[in-house]
Amino acid sequence: MRKALVCILVVAAVGCQQQCPFGKLDQYPPAYMAALEAARVVLTRHFGGAVVDKVHGLVESSSLVRANLSSKFRTRAVAKVFQTGPERYDVEIRVTNDIEALEPTSLGGPWNAQDWRAVGFDHLAEAVLNTEVAAQLQGQTVTVPPAAVKSYFMFPPAAPALPMRHRDLLRPNIPDPVRPPQPAPKAPEAAPKPAAEAPRQLRTASLFEQHLALGDEHLRRRDLDNALLEYQRAAVACPQSPVAHLSLAGVWTALRRYNAGAAALREAAAAANGRPVAGTDLARLRRPAEELSERLLLLKGLCKQQPNDRDGRLLLAYHYILAGRADDARASLDEAMRADPNDAAARFLAQQLGPARS
């Protein structure tokens, strides 16, 4: 009996040690703990609290539970810390909108069990939170209110097909971050402030380039979902640059979401604010070449079947520009501007072509 009890204790100890990736439960690498802390800080900033699981590298948080006549609902975020190299760790956050559903029970009792079910991912909230946690890992604090960022994933339908209470379930439920009170601005001595902001701008530009590079890599592998997510993170990190929006327009076109692609072109026009896109950026947007040819073929067929589709005309002109076919791009833009002379996206694309040849 005593030997059996000893064997059971030994097996339990070995299983507990295998469950912890670091051997002992109280010994964790400093970089691992720093990643957990960064995730905790970001989720606490948005949700007011977070639960940290050091053994499994998880940080969980959720919004306050709200309710309507049919069900209860909430927004839930889970951050996972994973190793990317020797003494290097990164964080990935996933956000879901959950409802409390009734589960039928086979026990024969008068009550049904209740459980939470995820009804969809909130990709916009994920982009905001992942951008903030990436900045937190680099030692800076970046707060982006979700209400200030337009979603590329949730466009309002022309005619609502669901009752209002159901559509409310899918709206982002992350409150705006609580910022500490700012001191009153001082008079003239605040002049050197732009120089102090320079390091933060450099770090933000670094995040922007990282997300762009990851999006390019996913696009090269034809992983359109992850490419879309990385380009959206780039747009959140540097909203004043049109390059991320132009990249999103290409991915939306590859997914045959032409309305969303045209909306991304209009966002790019607003971000450019009259400035032309650099030639090096246009050269990067042309890759990969086989993807560009496939999109052009689909857009030409769309515009032939639906000549009055303004969004299709805009995207066709944009892809003609990427393909170096300036005359075809001008012809497509002329038709788009004939339908709407005040279309900012069409004027922005025409600016990339330069003056017409006589």
The burial class, CB within 10 Å (0-12 / 13-18 / 19+), for 3 is exposed
The string of pLDDT tens digits covering residues 101-140 is 665 555 555 555 667 777 778 887 888 888 888 888 888 8
Is 176 a member of any domain?
no
Query: 256 and 336: one domain?
Result: yes
Is 143 a member of any domain?
yes
Query: 322 and 215: one domain?
Result: yes
For the residues 156-161, what does the mean pLDDT come to?
40
Is 3 a member of any domain?
no
Q: What is the predicted pLDDT for the residue at 176?
A: 54
Is 198 a member of any domain?
no
Is 322 a member of any domain?
yes
The string of pLDDT tens digits covering residues 315-348 is 888 888 888 888 888 888 888 888 777 888 888 8
Query: 218 and 357: one domain?
Result: yes
pLDDT exceeds 70 at position 187: no
Query: 124 and 237: one domain?
Result: no
Q: Is the dihedral of CA 22, 28, 32, 33 positive or negative?
A: positive
Is 282 a member of any domain?
yes
Q: What is the CATH number of the domain that holds 282?
A: 1.25.40
Is 232 a member of any domain?
yes
Query: 131 and 214: one domain?
Result: no
Strands (DSSP E) along the chain, which ranges? 51-53, 58-62, 66-67, 72-85, 88-103, 113-121
Backbone dihedral angles phi then psi of residue 224, each to the nearest 5 degrees? -70, -35
- Coil vs helix vs strand at 254: helix
For the residues 286-313, what does the mean pLDDT come to?
82
Q: What is the predicted pLDDT for the residue at 317?
A: 86
Is 195 a member of any domain?
no
Query: 132 and 57: one domain?
Result: yes
Higher pLDDT, 161 or 66: 66
Query: 349 and 211: one domain?
Result: yes
Q: With cut-offs at 50, 70 and 90, classify the pLDDT of residue 77.
A: very high
- Coil vs helix vs strand at 79: strand
Query: 220 and 145: one domain?
Result: no
Q: With cut-offs at 50, 70 and 90, classify the pLDDT of residue 147.
A: very low
Q: What is the predicted pLDDT for the residue at 188?
A: 57
The string of pLDDT tens digits covering residues 222-280 is 888 888 888 888 888 888 888 888 888 888 888 888 888 888 888 888 888 878 888 78
- Coil vs helix vs strand at 56: coil
Higher pLDDT, 12 or 85: 85
Contact 61, 49 (CB under 8 A): yes
pLDDT exceeds 70 at position 192: no
Query: Which residue range forms the structural domain that includes residue 117?
Result: 8-105+113-149
